[in-house]
Amino acid sequence: MTDRPLKVLIAKPGLDGHDRGAKVLARGLRDEGFEVVYTGLRQTPEMIVTAALQEDVDVVGLSILSGAHMTLLPRICALLRDRGMTDVLVAAGGIIPDDDVPALKESGVAAVFGPGTTIAAVAEFLRANARPRD
Amino acid sequence: MTGTRAQTAGEATPAERAATLCDAVLAGDRRSLARLLTAVENRTPLAEAALRRLYPMAGKAQLIGITGPPGAGKSTLVAALIAELRRAGRPVAVVAVDPSSPITGGAVLGDRVRMQAYADDDGVFIRSMASRGHAGGLSSATTAAAAVFDAAGFDAVLIETVGTGQSEVEVAATADTTVVVEAPEMGDEIQAIKAGLLEVADIIVVNKGDRPGAHRTAGQLHAMLADAPHEARPGRPVPKHPEVLVTTAATGEGVVELLAALDRHRTTSGRGDVQATRMARAEAQIWAVLSDRLRDRARSMEAAPMAAALLGAVAAHELDPYAAADRLLELMAGTGASSAGSRD
């Protein structure tokens, strides 16, 4: 079956308490036909990677507004690699300066979505870039 | 196709791939377990071959169903049960079902939010599932997913339904013990004697025990359900006499007592119940597979000229659909068991 829903984890790594964006995205991706596992606030990289593994998600979406993205996002990508999950697409959103994006992509983040990105654009990117399903 | 998947998959048959995957699952590889659960949800040929291998190894776990209305505290109670079961050293798996959108097919699976504390604990495995159009409070893959966890050595499998209304009772056939979670002040004695969800409860939990009215609600439920007739009428099942407990899942209060009640139901008074539930589950599983296979057979026959003629006749109202279905059944009987072993 190739038409079954893509499964996406939406998580907020780190300590900022602003989850409105993550919740809006979770609901928006639901409306785009995705199965969205929402894990909420204050997730450690280990918690996020364990959830991604157990849920066998196609995409890990990370919302971060605290400024700790240069620490947390590469750590999550490294843990995913350690667990053999190199086929899982990692995307990030929130407040991330343009200057940091090249280094994040180098570390394994496939896309960084800033404020103003439409949910349709995120959905389109995920559909085009998530791993092929068997 | 990734490198690893191409290597393991290759040109192997589903049965060969299933053997490799099952070996990894049984050896404790968590990613293989997660992958197998995905295959089970998607009902692939690989999943069927794997389930056939694993079925003889399942049957040992305590399957605990947690159901009840949205917001009663099912997920929080599951988290509290995980904590208690881990304290006892038992490996725990969770299947948490949330509804799929009937419009887009999408879903928000939010039960993990309440079950965060076990990222480093290999003895806990939590899997969210969307209901994918399946009515009854579960997904169609829930029973099979529980069997996979069972075979993989999880000693307790907690099955959390979608938030239910009054009549989503499928979990009662899926789990050995069904816990219905209610919140205080959700209804009076009349609610307690209505048919449906409360009838299938082996244990009733009034959660949010720190709220006013919790003990009164528990008292009312106990009074109405404990007074049910104890003797079975001829040809009818014995009515259940559920224990009624009060918990405050958020603080863990009452959870030790709930676990004790679960063990009581499993080991002593409820033994006959559990056996009857397992027979009902076996029957439901066989029926599900049988109807899938019959549907597949019927569909494959639609391509045949005879079936096409039937379609045309029904469309033209020359033949009624009942007679057409009977003809198809006769045709299937004629082809015998030729396709019985061809799927794996």
Look at A37 and B128 and tell me if their CB atoms are within 8 Å. yes
**With contact defined as beta carbons under 8 Å apart, do B82 and B124 qualify?**
yes
Point out which residues pair with A89 in neighbouring strands: A59
- pTM comes to 0.87
Q: Look at residue A125 and tell me if it is in a domain.
A: yes
A127 confidence band (pLDDT: 50, 70, 90): very high
Look at A134 and B104 and tell me if their CB atoms are within 8 Å. no
Q: Look at residue A95 and tell me if it is in a domain.
A: yes
Do B62 and B29 belong together in one domain? Answer: no
Look at A40 and B30 and tell me if their CB atoms are within 8 Å. no
Contacts of A82 in chain B (CB under 8 A): none
pLDDT at B16: 92
Going by the DSSP 8-state scheme, the letter that residue B249 receives in this structure is T
Contacts of A22 in chain B (CB under 8 A): none
The CATH number for A18's domain is 3.40.50.280
Point out which residues pair with A11 in neighbouring strands: A40, A62
The structure tokens listed for B125 are 């495995």
Going by the DSSP 8-state scheme, the letter that residue B61 receives in this structure is S
Distance from A92 to chain B by nearest Cα, in Å?
19
Consecutive H or E run containing A40 = strand A35-43
For chain B, list residues whose CB is within 8 angstroms of any CB belonging to chain A. 1-2, 4-5, 9, 30-31, 34-35, 37-38, 42-44, 100-101, 104-110, 112-113, 116, 118-120, 125-128, 130
Tens of pLDDT, residue by residue over A24-41, are: 999 999 999 999 999 988
Q: How many CB atoms lie within 10 A of CB B162?
A: 26
Closest residue in B to A1 (Cα) is B42
pLDDT at B230: 64
| Helical packing angle, B255-267 and B271-302, nearest 10° | 80
Q: Look at residue B342 and tell me if it is in a domain.
A: no
Distance from B128 to chain A by nearest Cα, in Å?
7
Q: Is the pLDDT at A83 greater than 50, yes or no?
A: yes
Q: Look at residue A34 and tell me if it is in a domain.
A: yes
Q: Look at residue B145 and tell me if it is in a domain.
A: yes
pLDDT at B237: 65
Domain of residue B9 covers: 1-57
Domain of residue A114 covers: 7-129
**With contact defined as beta carbons under 8 Å apart, do A11 and A39 qualify?**
yes
Nearest Cα residue to B96 out of A54, A10, A66:
A54
Do B239 and B299 belong together in one domain? Answer: no
Contacts of A134 in chain B (CB under 8 A): 5, 9, 44
Do B124 and B239 belong together in one domain? Answer: yes
Do B249 and B315 belong together in one domain? Answer: no
Pick from B35, B100, B119: CB nearest A56: B35
**Total count of domains within chain A:** 1
Residue scoring higher pLDDT (B120 or A60):
A60
**With contact defined as beta carbons under 8 Å apart, do B224 and B193 qualify?**
yes
Q: Is the pLDDT at A1 greater than 60, yes or no?
A: no
Q: Look at residue B46 and tell me if it is in a domain.
A: yes
Do B157 and B222 belong together in one domain? Answer: yes
Distance from B213 to chain A by nearest Cα, in Å?
31
Q: Look at residue A2 and tell me if it is in a domain.
A: no
pLDDT at B119: 83
Look at B104 and A30 and tell me if their CB atoms are within 8 Å. yes
pLDDT at B232: 63
Do B306 and B169 belong together in one domain? Answer: no
pLDDT along chain B (344 residues), means of 10: 45 89 96 96 92 93 93 94 96 95 92 86 95 85 95 96 82 90 80 77 94 91 75 67 93 96 79 76 87 80 73 92 88 59 40
Cα angle B93, B199, B69 (rounded to 5 degrees) comes to 55
Alpha helical stretches, state H, chain B: 3-9, 14-26, 30-41, 45-54, 74-87, 142-151, 171-174, 189-193, 214-226, 255-267, 271-302, 305-315, 321-335
Pick from B38, B109, B120: CB nearest A36: B109
Q: Look at residue A78 and tell me if it is in a domain.
A: yes
**Total count of domains within chain B:** 3
Do B50 and B191 belong together in one domain? Answer: no
Do B234 and B249 belong together in one domain? Answer: yes
Closest residue in A to B100 (Cα) is A35
User: Can you count the helices (H) and strands (E) in chain A?
Assistant: 5, 5
Whether residue A113 lies within 8 A of chain B, CB to CB, comes out as: no
Match 């200057």 to its residue by tokens: A99
pLDDT at B342: 41
Do B121 and B19 belong together in one domain? Answer: no
Look at B34 and A132 and tell me if their CB atoms are within 8 Å. no
Q: What is the DSSP string of B78-140?
A: HHHHHHHHHHTT--EEEEEEEPPPTTTS-EEE-GGGG--TTTT-TTEEEEEEE-TT--SSS-T
Do B117 and B220 belong together in one domain? Answer: yes
Tens of pLDDT, residue by residue over A89-121, are: 999 999 999 999 999 999 999 999 999 999 999
Cα angle B169, B172, B174 (rounded to 5 degrees) comes to 115
Q: Look at residue B256 and tell me if it is in a domain.
A: yes
Dihedral sign (CA A123, A129, A134, B5): negative
Largest CA distance in chain A: 41
Chains A, B: CB pairs < 8 Å: 94
The structure tokens listed for A77 are 């990508």
Look at A35 and B37 and tell me if their CB atoms are within 8 Å. no
Look at A37 and B112 and tell me if their CB atoms are within 8 Å. yes
Closest residue in A to B116 (Cα) is A47
Of B57, B82, B101, which residue is a domain's last?
B57
Do B182 and B306 belong together in one domain? Answer: no
Do B46 and B118 belong together in one domain? Answer: no
Q: Look at residue A13 and tell me if it is in a domain.
A: yes
Q: Is the pLDDT at A2 greater than 80, yes or no?
A: no
Phi, psi of B130 (to 5 degrees): -85, 150
pLDDT at B49: 94
The structure tokens listed for A9 are 């984890």
Consecutive H or E run containing B317 = none
Q: Look at residue A113 and tell me if it is in a domain.
A: yes
The CATH number for B156's domain is 3.40.50.300
Q: Look at residue B285 and tell me if it is in a domain.
A: no
Look at B128 and A55 and tell me if their CB atoms are within 8 Å. yes
Distance from A32 to chain B by nearest Cα, in Å?
7
Percent over 70 (pLDDT), chain A: 96
Look at A35 and B130 and tell me if their CB atoms are within 8 Å. yes
Q: Look at residue A40 and tell me if it is in a domain.
A: yes
**With contact defined as beta carbons under 8 Å apart, do A90 and A110 qualify?**
yes
